[in-house]
Amino acid sequence: MRVIVAGERDACKSHGVYRLEGCLRTIKAGKVETHANPVFSADEGAILRIDADGGFANAAFELGAPRLVERAHELGMAALVINDCTHFSALWPEIEALTDKGVAAMAMCPSYASVAPSGGTAPLLGTNPFAFGWPRKDQPPYVFDFATSVAARGEIELHRQAGKPLPEGWAIDREGNPTTDPAAALEGAMLPFGSHKGSAISTMIELLAGVMIGDLTSPEALEALGTTTLAPAHGELILAFDPTRFANGRPGDPFERAETLFEAIAGQGARLPSQRRFAARKKSLTEGIELSAEEWSMLERLKEKGLA
Ligand code: NDP
Ligand code: PYC
């Protein structure tokens, strides 16, 4: 619930209040363990492993994050593997929890087959999110967090709900033809961002955060769940780095050098990723979160059904 509220607060609509209904549907279908007891199943130097016990990934991450940070400071870098979790959320809350503790971090996970590989015609890869964060002194961290499809699947669903066409280049229909119809896109396939480049990064995520960690790839996750209308179950990989340890002995403080780079980016009038999100957060924290009439009626509907 905390990540859904955080999504809405930061104006990340594809992982905000709209996600509530899908999470409750997943619980009702018995596809996620609501009384999960995540535990460390291995602790081998740089590799920490948590068995999420079939529950949401968020609780497993909260258990593993402090030890991941400790181990990254101790060894220079460390990995947190989460197995057997249901994942419905954005990755930036996890990244920010790590950058807040002074480490740089990456997170990634498969989802379920819904994206055609570049040059392909049918769903195979997931929307596979990839996020990175770098801590900054006295200001919010540098964070990017994106789906490796052109947009998150949640965006397609929001377009469908709003009766709006998709931008060109987001999806193909069941026959493999380009479509701007969200319903046809949900039945067909989404497209990777940056054609072959996004397709390759998405495949890397299938390998590192699926195959390598002994968990499900996106096609396997879809086969296990049998639908894209519930939240998918698979694994997640989170990496943490201590920049000072990596820079050891080399000239220049890595955090100061990073600021030079950020200033040069902003100096050209470009914005940093997450800048929009942090501005939305500031506004929400002073003015509150505004929900649309449709969002209120969704909450009312869930309340009537005894689900919210
Ligand atoms: P967006 O394309 O909206 O944004 C991706 C990133 O790019 C954000 O960090 C964003 O910052 C940044 N960005 C956007 N525009 C610019 C710009 N003009 N200049 C610089 N940076 C920019 O996100 P997606 O639709 O790809 O993904 C949304 C969310 O969906 C992510 O949080 C992801 O984790 C989640 N997701 C989760 C999945 C799961 O399986 N759990 C699967 C797929 C996606 P800002 O926010 O400030 O705009
Ligand atoms: O928006 O693509 C998405 C997504 C899949 C799983 C959770 N979010």
pLDDT digits (tens, 9 = 90+) for 104-116: 999 999 999 999 9
The set of catalytic residues is: 14-15, 155
3-class DSSP state for residue 52?
Answer: coil
**Helix, strand or coil, per DSSP, at residue 47:** strand
- Model pTM score: 0.96
**Closest of 168, 163, 7 to residue 90, by C-alpha:** 7
Mean pLDDT value of segment 51-57: 97
Domains of the chain: which residue ranges? 2-149+192-301
What's the 101 CA to ligand 2 centre distance in angstroms? 27
Q: Is 88 in the pocket of ligand 2 (CB under 6 A)?
A: yes
Indicate the top mutation candidate among 12, 19, 146 to test ligand 1's pocket, ranked by most ligand atoms within 8 A of CB: 146
For residue 259, pLDDT beyond 90: yes
pLDDT of residue 110: 98
CB 126 within 8 A of CB 111: yes
Tell me which residue has its CA closest to atom 8 in ligand 2: 88
**Does the beta carbon of 15 lie inside 6 Å of ligand 1?**
yes
- 209-235 pLDDT, tens digit per residue, is 999 999 999 999 999 999 999 999 999
Beta-strand relationship, 47-51 and 77-86 = parallel
Alpha helices in 135-274 (DSSP H): 153-162, 182-187, 196-206, 218-225, 243-247, 254-267
Give the distance (Å) from ligand 2 centre to CA of residue 193: 15
153 Cβ inside 6 Å of ligand 2: yes
Q: Edge to edge, what strands does the sheet with 233-241 contain?
A: 39-44, 47-51, 77-86, 233-241, 104-108, 130-134, 142-146
Alpha-carbon span 123 to 110, nearest angstrom: 13
| CATH fold of the domain at 2-149+192-301 | Ribosomal Protein S8; Chain: A, domain 1 (3.30.1370)
Tokens of 38: 């995540």
